[in-house]
Amino acid sequence: MLVYALKRLLWMLPVMLGVLIIVFTITYFTPGDPIAAMLGPGYTPERYAQKAAELGLDQGYFIRLGKYIWNAFVRFDLGRSYLSNLSISDEIAARFPITLCIGVLTIFVMAVVGMPLGIFSAIRQYGAADAALTVAALVMNAIPAFVFALLSLILFGVVLRWLPVNGLGSWKAWILPVVTSALPGIAVVMRMSRTTMLEVIRQDYIRTARSKGLKEGVIIRKHALKNCLIPLITVTGGFMTSVLAGSIIVETIFGIPGLGMYLMGGIIGRDYPVINGSVLLISLIVCILNLVVDLLYAMIDPRIKAQYSAKKGKIKKSGGTLPPVNEGGAA
């Protein structure tokens, strides 16, 4: 188990390196001249060359890529913004907690709302409530975050005037961003808990619990609920990815000064180091989350745990099974 965790941790290194190279390459080959944009109209060639040398933009692709990798991986330095000339690492460090906070709250809301609704709809399978929740989940899945954000801004911010529409002044201001981010997740968690629950309540041990005379509520809480945690963890891992990526839209609409808004500023201003740095950081978090999810699986589900420990003893599969047909291709 520990070996597995370490292996996965080490594997993150080449993945991050790959991500860095991809993102760097995309922005490297982007047409446009950041130096000309920075200097504004009417610069001299000397001034241009000086600025290029200052930023290291006069060097070739591989030298720049190498420098960027060295700085990012060894010194945790993502360079400076073209526009503000501030250190990107510092800026991200200052903004990321806000985004993370919204992300964690989102996951919390998603679990607390989605799971009970899913269980409820499984218990009342084919009832009116189940049908209504199914339709609700379909609709929630079809609303893009920015559409929901704009519509709820109109309803709660402009028409009803219940909630603030911009910034993070009071606790009320957190409601709309969190609900907006959580909505698609609630739908998915709801559907998955429903499916799991429907499978679980047909198992023998539940029937045993029932025949012992346990109350339905106790059966659900003590015996069935645990099983719903596994789909929840699966969804959480994947969903955090889309929350982080979606923060760019949600934060821009609600005026929240987090990582998403920073990235948005980078896109509008063609500030490529900012885009690179933000995407890199978000990808890193996605990798870490995936790792955590996989490890949590093993901790919670004894069946998966058994798989990891059994792997060592088994004979390697690829050698033992039928020889693949694809040998001797030139025949």
* Binding region for other proteins (CB under 8 A): 14-16, 18-19, 22-23, 26-27, 29-31, 138-139, 141-147, 150-151, 153-154, 158, 241-242, 244-246, 248-249, 252-253, 264, 267-268, 270, 275, 279, 282-283, 286-287, 318, 322, 324-326, 329, 331
**Tokens for 136?**
């609700």
The residue among 227 and 278 lying less far from other proteins, judged by its C-beta, is 278
The minimum distance between CB 136 and other proteins, in angstroms, equals 12
The residue among 210 and 270 lying less far from other proteins, judged by its C-beta, is 270
**Tokens for 305?**
């745990």
The minimum distance between CB 313 and other proteins, in angstroms, equals 22
Per DSSP, what are the bridge partners of residue 87? 80
The minimum distance between CB 294 and other proteins, in angstroms, equals 13
Q: Are 78 and 89 in contact (CB under 8 A)?
A: yes
Residue 291 burial by Cβ neighbours in a 10 Å radius (0-12, 13-18, 19+): middle
Q: Are 51 and 59 in contact (CB under 8 A)?
A: no
Cα(93)–Cα(149) distance, integer angstroms: 26
Rg, Å, the chain Cα set: 25
Residue 110 burial by Cβ neighbours in a 10 Å radius (0-12, 13-18, 19+): buried
The minimum distance between CB 158 and other proteins, in angstroms, equals 5
The residue among 10 and 322 lying less far from other proteins, judged by its C-beta, is 322
The minimum distance between CB 49 and other proteins, in angstroms, equals 25
**Tokens for 28?**
């490297």
The residue among 217 and 324 lying less far from other proteins, judged by its C-beta, is 324
The minimum distance between CB 244 and other proteins, in angstroms, equals 7
The residue among 137 and 232 lying less far from other proteins, judged by its C-beta, is 137
The residue among 105 and 240 lying less far from other proteins, judged by its C-beta, is 240
Cα(330)–Cα(312) distance, integer angstroms: 36
Cα(75)–Cα(69) distance, integer angstroms: 9
